[in-house]
């Protein structure tokens, strides 16, 4: 049986976030304290299977990372229908299947919340597997990167960003990535959580009508 250290490697920054922000009754935390770890974590979503938080080196304001709570390095490490027949293998297969489903269920919800919060119409969802594929943190994560329509202003220091006048880069991995401003991130994360709650509520209403 896997140990906690195998699920949450000490040197993995995303596992540190998962440990600092355990799943609660609601998947969207009310007022998560960003200072529980350093650098700050601006958490948007925290479920038993997945988490979402702002990238600390965003390519554009609102750049979100959606990750699995448990530690998997690559997408291929998720659900394997050909797992062994023994109890331990089947238990792991069941867990990874639920984690895989959760990624698929939350990606559209987080995407819609991102669009409503930032006013964008276009965004990238990027997922890298391995160093040669530009994966920096060896823990499965999906980048949701807003693509803004207008020109990007020059920002010095901690200048406030007008999210309606920001243009993100032509291609993922190109252009300057700016360090996340924690004050601006708190505002953005709170708006994203509000938008995500609304999306969850709307989905619950739609399901109740089926």
Nearest to residue 28, comparing CAs of 99, 103, 106? 106
Grouping H, G, I as helix, E, B as strand and the rest as coil, residue 66 is strand
Which among 137, 116, 124 is positioned nearest to 51, based on CA atoms? 137
What is the β-pairing status of strands 141-147 and 43-46? unpaired
∠ CA 181-138-49, rounded to 5°:
80
**Contact status, residue 54 vs residue 34, Cβ threshold 8 Å:** no
List 42, 49, 63, 141, catalytic entry:
141
Radius of gyration of the chain (CA): 18
Q: Enter the tokens of residue 189.
A: 């994360």
| Residue 71 falls in the annotated catalytic set | no
The pairing of beta strand 122-127 with beta strand 141-147: antiparallel
Residue 84, both tokens: 């062994």
Does a cis peptide bond (omega within 30 degrees of 0) precede residue 112?
Answer: no
- Is the dihedral angle over the CA atoms 7, 98, 19, 181 positive or is it negative? positive
Positions marked catalytic = 141
């Amino acid at each position: 049986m896997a140990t906690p250290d195998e699920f949450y490697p000490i040197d993995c920054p995303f596992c540190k976030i998962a440990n600092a922000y355990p799943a609660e009754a609601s998947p969207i935390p009310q007022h998560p304290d960003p200072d529980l770890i350093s650098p700050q974590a601006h958490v948007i979503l925290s479920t038993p299977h997945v988490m979402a938080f702002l990238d600390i080196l965003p390519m554009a304001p609102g750049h979100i990372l959606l990750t699995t709570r448990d530690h998997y390095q690559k997408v291929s490490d998720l659900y394997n229908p050909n797992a062994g027949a023994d109890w331990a293998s089947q238990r792991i297969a069941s867990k990874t299947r639920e984690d895989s489903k959760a990624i698929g269920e939350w990606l559209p919800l987080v995407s819609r919340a991102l669009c409503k919060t930032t006013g964008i119409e276009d965004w990238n969802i990027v997922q890298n597997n391995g160093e040669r594929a530009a994966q920096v943190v060896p823990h499965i994560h999906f980048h949701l990167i807003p693509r803004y329509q207008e020109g990007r202003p020059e920002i010095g220091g901690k200048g406030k960003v007008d999210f309606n006048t920001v243009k993100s880069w032509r291609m993922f991995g190109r252009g300057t990535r700016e360090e996340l401003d924690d004050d601006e991130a708190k505002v953005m994360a709170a708006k994203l959580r509000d938008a995500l709650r609304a999306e969850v509520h709307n989905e619950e209403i739609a399901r109740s009508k089926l």
